Amino acid sequence: MHFSLKQIALFDAIVRMGSLSRAAEEVALSQSAASMALKELEDSLGTKLFHRQGRKLILNENGRRLQPKAHSIILLAAEITQPETKELEGMLRIAASTTVGNYVLPECSAAFLSRHPKVRLVISTATINETVERVEA
């Protein structure tokens, strides 16, 4: 039994969206590629997951049993791919020109500090030439 995460994501999307074409769009496949991926998933599992009535797909008993497991797989995959966020802490020194320091950094630094309260921010402003010299030193 071999199936891909993309096939499981497609199956989950079909169940949620109620349509192969909308599910294909959600998982970034053409409708024909999605149709083929669904067929390959069913072949791999050795069972049909939907009753087909014309172009309409209706989840059958096998599909209903698979759906919660497929959804769990998608949630776990999303969790794995999310980078673990470590809380930032320590000191951050920023050297900026007077204009940037007075007009841009106050708003940016306030937003940054609200998300990272353990960071101590030290901003020094000077002319552009002085700022470049400080950074190069």
User: Which residue intervals of the chain bear CATH 3.40.190.10?
Assistant: 90-136
- The region of weakest confidence among 8-17, 26-35, 113-122 is 113-122
Task: Tell which CATH architecture fits domain 5-81.
Answer: Orthogonal Bundle (1.10)
Q: What is the pLDDT at residue 105?
A: 84
The pLDDT of residue 135 is above 80: no
Check: CB of residue 7 under 8 Å from CB of residue 41: yes
User: Which residue intervals of the chain bear CATH 1.10.10.10?
Assistant: 5-81
Q: How far apart are CA 85 and CA 82, in angstroms?
A: 9
User: Average pLDDT in the 117-130 region?
Assistant: 87
CA 23 to chain centre: 17
Check: CB of residue 126 under 8 Å from CB of residue 98: yes
Which stretches does DSSP call E strand in the chain? 50-53, 56-59, 90-97, 119-126
Contacts of 47 (CB under 8 A, 6+ apart): 62
CATH superfamily label, 90-136: Periplasmic binding protein-like II (3.40.190.10)
User: Tokens standing for 48?
Assistant: 């049909």
